[in-house]
Amino acid sequence: MIGIYRGAADALRRAEADVERDEKIRESVSAIIADVRSRGDAALYDYALKFDKADLSAIEVSVEQIDRAEAECDPALVVLMKRAAENIRAFHSRQVREPFVIKDKPGVVMGQKITPIEKVGLYVPGGTAAYPSSVLMNCIPAKIAGCSEIVMVSPPSRDGDISPVILAAAKIAGVDRVFRIGGAQAVAALAYGTETVPKVDKIVGPGNAFVAEAKRQVFGKVAIDMIAGPSEILVISDGNSSPAVLAADLLSQAEHDRMATAILLTDSEELAAKVSDELEKQIPTLPRRDIARESIDNNGKIVILGSIDECVELANEMAPEHLELCVDEPFGYLDAIKNAGSIFLGRNCPEALGDYMAGPNHTLPTSGTARFSSPLSVDDFVKKSQFTFFSAEALDEVCGDVASFARAEGLEAHAKSALARREKGDF
C-alpha cells in the first residue's frame, strides 16, 4: 500500500541505488565494450546468441524487410503512428534555431552557424517489449535537425527478427539503417564501429541498466543524450480531482518499472485517502500488476501539505520527470514551476498523452536532473560554431587591449600574437 505522509520530509527520498549491483554492471559492461572493440562483428554475433538466444545470419536488417514491415502491422496502429509522427514533427519544427551574423562595428563580422550532427545512433529497447513511440520521439528531431545518417539498433527476438511495429515506426520516422543488436554491445558498436555497424557521433534512446552504463562509459568518445533513471510521475492536485483518475495516472508510471516513482502532492486529506483506496482497487486489474504493486509499495507516496503553493515548492525541489498540475487554474502556477521535465496542465491532460500523441518529446530528464537539463529536442542534434572576422584596421584598434589582458594573465605569447599583425610589429 502507498505511504501517506503529512509534510515534505519523506517526499524527497528517491529509490536508493544498489551499489554492489551497479559495480557488477560496470565491470560487465566494461568487458563487453572491450570485446566489441577487439572482435567487432564476431562479438556481436556471439552476444546475440548469448543474451538474446538469437542465431543471427546477418546483423543488418534489409531495406526490403523494413519496407514490408508496415504491411505486417495492424493498419489501425500504423495510422496512429503516422498521426503521432505528424504531431511530433509539428512541435519539434518550432525548435529549429537560426544562425546569426553581427556587423554593428566597422570591419568586424561575428556570428554563429548551426551544423547538424552527421551520424546519430538510436537505441530502441526490444525483446518482450516493443516501443515504437521511442523510435518516433528520438528519430524525428534528428531528421528535422538535418542529420545525414540515423542508425537504429534494437535487440532481436529468438528468431532473429525485430518487431515489425518497430521497423514500421523506423520507416515512418526516417531511420536510414537498422541493426539487430541490443544491450551494451550495441552501444559499443555504435561508439567504436565494427565491420558492419558504422561509428556514430551521438547515441540517444532509452535502455536498461546495462545500456545506461554503456552510454556512460562511451561518453566522451561519442555524445549521448542523457543517463536515464527509473520513470517518475509527480501529480499536484487540489481536492476537486477524481481519485480514480489520479490513481490511474500514478499507475501509468508505476507499471513501467519496479523502481519507478509515483507521487501525489495534495492539500486535501480526503483526496489522499480516496486515491490510496483507488490504487488498491486498480492495481489487481493491471496486466503488469506485480511491477506496479512493487513500485507503489516501495516508491509511491502521497504527501499532504498545507496549500497548492507548498506543493509547487516541493515539486521544484524534487524536479520530476513528469509533472501533472491537476488544479482549477493550472496556467496560474506555470511560471512558478522551475524544475520539471514535462508539465501537463489541467485535469484533462494525462501523462500518457505526452508519451504518444501530443507532440512534445517523451525522452525526459529523470532522477532530479530536470534541475539542469531538458527534454530531448532538435538542439540535441546540432552543433553551434561561432565565427569572427576583423579587418586590419579593426584589429589595430583593439590589439593593445588584447595584449594588456593577456599579459595580466601572464600569457606573453598571446600578447605577442595580438601585436604581431601591427605594421611595425610592436613587441
Hey, what's the cell of 361?
Answer: 518529446
Which of 269, 229, 282, 300 has the alpha carbon at shortest distance from 13?
A: 300
Q: Which of 255, 321, 324, 351 is catalytic?
A: 321
The number of C-alpha atoms within 13 Å of 369 and in the hemisphere containing its C-beta is 15
Other residues' Cβ atoms within 10 Å of the Cβ of residue 235: 29
Q: Please name which of 79, 98, 92, 149 lies closest in space to residue 119, comparing C-alpha atoms.
A: 149
Give me the residue label for grid cell 545525414.
148
| Amino acid at site 108 | V
Let me know if 322 is a catalytic residue.
yes
Our separate counts of H helices and E strands in the chain read 16, 14
What's the farthest any 2 CA atoms get from each other in the chain?
87
CB 180 within 8 A of CB 162: yes
DSSP 312-339: HHHHHHH--SEEEEESS-THHHHTT--S
Contacts of 73 (CB under 8 A, 6+ apart): 164, 165, 168
**What angle, rounded to 10 degrees, do the helices at 41-52 and 19-39 form?**
140
- CA 120/CA 108 separation, integer angstroms: 36
Find the catalytic residue in 322, 324, 351, 362. Answer: 322
Q: Is there a catalytic annotation at residue 321? A: yes
Query: Which residues does the annotation mark as catalytic?
Result: 321-322
